[in-house]
Structure 1
Amino acid sequence: MESVGNSISTTVTALSSVHYFIEAVLIALVVYLFVFRKKEKRSTLKLTEEQKEELIAEWTPDPLVPELDYQELARKPKYVDGKMGKYVQIEGKEYLNAGTTNFLGFVGDSRIEEIAKKTIFKYGVGSCGPRGFYGTVDVHLDLEKELAQFLNCEEAVLYSYGFATIASAIPAYAKRGDVIFADKGVNFAIQKGLQASRSRIEWFEHNDTEDLERLLKIQEEKDLKDPKKASKVRRFMVVEGLYAKTADICPLKRLLELKWKYKVRIFIDESFSFGVLGKTGRGKFLFKFVF
């Protein structure tokens, strides 16, 4: 029995040795394939400069777009024939102009056209007429006076371009160190004005007065902790009367309550609500109450 046990032990040892040997061979083979064969493969792909030049010369790239006969496929451009009013004429057919911002119907109004003709004969025409380039003339002052009367304000400032109005008005009042509470749904012109102000912007959810008051309370707590600093910080609220992106109307009554409660100045962009909202067409808000 003892000799049988020794024989079995010797056999097991021999098998283990064979097993380890096979594993070592397999590992060596794997290392060879991944290292040496990879190097050999790379070396066989190495080309001379002449070979590279030949391959480049023979290579013909596929076109990015299919070959077309542009003379045959030339598309006849469509254009509007006439005034850019509520309806437009294209190739003799009438279409509803869904891309216009001529909400008040000024385009094509006969009274405005007659005044425009007289104005052109008196002042001439140009590609643009900003007062910063050409100076202030009497019609600028007359229009400012009439707008102030219409809005029940002491004075009005006339801009030559709507985008520039709010984009420059915000940084004219707000500066670095001030805080502006802005609706997340404001238009691009307002966004540029906020950037130019370099003020700290606190965004509240669109038309969400509860979220706005939450931010106002946080600011109020900061002001109470440091009254000296708070006395130098001006606070603004920026919204739109009628939002250009969503066509939502701002909750004006609640906004004014928060304005007086937390002593915040308010900007309301009335670009789309002016002449559209309100009993008299003055928009959502009389400007004399803004500050």
Structure 2
Amino acid sequence: MFATLLGIFGEASTLHYALETFLIAAVTFLYFRRREVKDSRVKLTEKQKDELIAEWKPEPLVPDTPQDHPVLNPRFIDGKMTKYVKIEGKEYLNMVTSNFLGFVGEQRIEDVAKKTIFKYGVGSCGPRGFYGTVDVHLDLEKELAQFFGCEEAVLYSYGFATIASAIPAYAKRGDVIFVDKGVNFAIQKGLQASRARVEWFEHNDMEDLERLLELQAEKDKRDSVKAGKTRRFMVVEGIYANSGEICPLQKLMEFKWQHKVRIFIDESYSFGVLGKTGRGKL
């Protein structure tokens, strides 16, 4: 048996030495082969380099644009962006407008706008935080609060900034926000600024939202201390800007009271549109 073991170890040593020899030979071969390839490269003279550069004709990054391409022949709309628009004297139905309430082209509104410009002036921009608050700001806030039946309203100068800054003003790191996957870009930026944990539910899918709310309720039961410090929000749109679909507001309000969740509703497209008086369904 001892002799057998010696024989096995002897064979293993022989294989080991053979493998080392093969690796050394391979490394040596590759080293000298690389030097030969490097030395075999053709060295061009400066004159030859200049000739090659002069002969080289680079291909264009993009193909030539034909002269009849629409980009080179833009068509312009004549007049105001109302329900109907005129292009080169021909009238078309405007299918891309968000002027649901028909404010554009309304003579009564234009007359009031002219009087306001003559009284307050006009500039390239008019952020309230920069130019200050005037009486029309306060009057509009009061009328909006009365229209919606709220205690107060806050007026912003820019719609994008409204939701993008309102969300991080309330939500913070450690909070959880349940958000419809179909929300617009302004809401997405507000979510990023809040640094809260975002739970996405399928677009207008109340079963998926309820599933997430129940999962959160189970987490709260396991850690009541953390649950007491965590605020919960839902973010939806009255009419989704990306799809034109209406949110199921009645069901959302049920979840709000059942799970004690605050709710943000972006009414940029639904204001004045939904319901008999423009206040929505509720």
TM bucket (normalised to shorter chain) is 0.7 to 0.9
What TM-score results when the alignment is normalised by the length of structure 1? 0.78
Q: 2:130 is matched with which residue?
A: 133
Deviation, 1:229, is 1.3
What amino acid does structure 2 have at the position aligned with 1:91? E
SS in 2 for 1:192: helix
Of the candidates 151, 156, 163, which is equivalent to residue 153 of structure 2?
Answer: 156
2:242 and 2:36 mapped to 1: Cα distance? 61
**Equivalent residue for 1:143?**
140
Give the C-alpha shift of residue 279 in structure 1.
2.1
Aligned to 1:273: 270
Task: Give the conservation status (yes or no) of the 8 Å contact 1:204–1:211.
Answer: yes
Provide the C-alpha distance between the structure 2 equivalents of 1:116 and 1:93, rounded to a whole number of angstroms: 29
Please give the residue correspondences for 1:207-286 in structure 2 after superposition, counting only pairs within 5 Å.
207-285=204-282
* Greater alpha carbon shift after TM alignment, 160-169 vs 196-205: 160-169
Q: Which amino acid aligns with 1:228?
A: V
Residues 13-28 of structure 1 aligned to structure 2 (within 5 Å): none
Cα distance in structure 2, aligned partners of 1:170 and 1:74: 39
Residue by residue, what CA displacement relative to the aligned partner does 1:240-277 show, whole Å, maximum 9, x if unpaired? Answer: 11111122211111111111111100111111111111
**Contact 1:78/1:90 (CA < 8 Å) preserved in 2?**
yes
Match of 1:91 in 2: 88
Question: Are the structure 2 counterparts of residues 253 and 122 from structure 1 closer, same or farther at C-alpha, using a change threshold of 3 Å?
Answer: same
Task: Select the structure of larger CA radius of gyration.
Answer: 1
When residues 283 and 66 of structure 1 are mapped into structure 2, their CA distance, relative to the original with a 3 A threshold, is: same
Please give the alpha-carbon distance, in whole angstroms, between the structure 2 residues aligned to 1:65 and 1:43: 37
Deviations 1:85-105 (A, max 9, x none): 111122211111222110000
Q: Which runs of 5+ in 1 are unaligned?
A: 1-31, 286-291
2:55 matched residue in structure 1: 58
Q: Structure 1 pair 41/213, CA: closer, same or farther in 2 (3 Å)?
A: same
Is the 8 Å Cα contact of residues 270 and 283 (structure 1) preserved in structure 2?
A: no
Counterpart of 2:196, as a letter, is S
Quote the Cα distance in structure 1 between the aligned partners of 2:80 and 2:54: 57
Shift, 1:141, TM fit: 0.6
Distance 1:198 1:66, change over 3 A: closer
Once the two structures are TM-superposed, the CA of residue 163 in structure 1 deviates from its matched residue by 1.2
Change (3 A) 1:211 1:127: same
Aligned to 1:111: 108
Asked if structure 2 preserves the Cα contact closer than 8 Å seen for 1:270 and 1:284, the reply is: no
User: CA deviation digits over 1:129-177, x for unaligned, max 9?
Assistant: 1101211111111111111111111111111111111111111110111
List structure 1 runs of 4+ shifted beyond 3 angstroms: 35-42, 44-50, 62-70, 73-77
Q: How far did residue 51 of structure 1 move?
A: 2.8
Q: Relative to structure 1, is the Cα distance of residues 37 and 110 closer, same or farther in structure 2, using a 3 angstrom cutoff?
A: closer
Q: CA deviation at 1:59?
A: 2.0
> Equivalent residue for 2:7?
none
Please give the alpha-carbon distance, in whole angstroms, between the structure 2 residues aligned to 1:116 and 1:283. Answer: 27
After TM superposition, the structure 1 stretch with the greater mean CA deviation from structure 2, 59-68 or 104-113, is: 59-68
Aligned to 1:102: 99
| Aligned residue identity for 2:218 | E
**Cα RMSD, aligned residues only:** 2.6
TM-score between the two structures when normalised by the length of structure 2: 0.81
Task: Report whether the alignment pairs 1:123 with 2:120.
Answer: yes
After TM superposition, the structure 1 = structure 2 runs for residues 30-49 of structure 1, keeping only pairs within 5 Å, are: 43-49=40-46
Q: Which runs of 5+ in 2 are unaligned?
A: 1-28
Distance 1:237 1:174 in 2: 11
State how far apart, in whole Å, the 2-side matches of 1:98 and 1:38 are: 70
Aligned to 1:12: none
1:61 CA displacement = 2.4
Name the amino acid aligned to 2:132: G
Q: For residue 85 of structure 1, what is the amino acid of its counterpart? A: T
Q: Which amino acid aligns with 1:142?
A: D
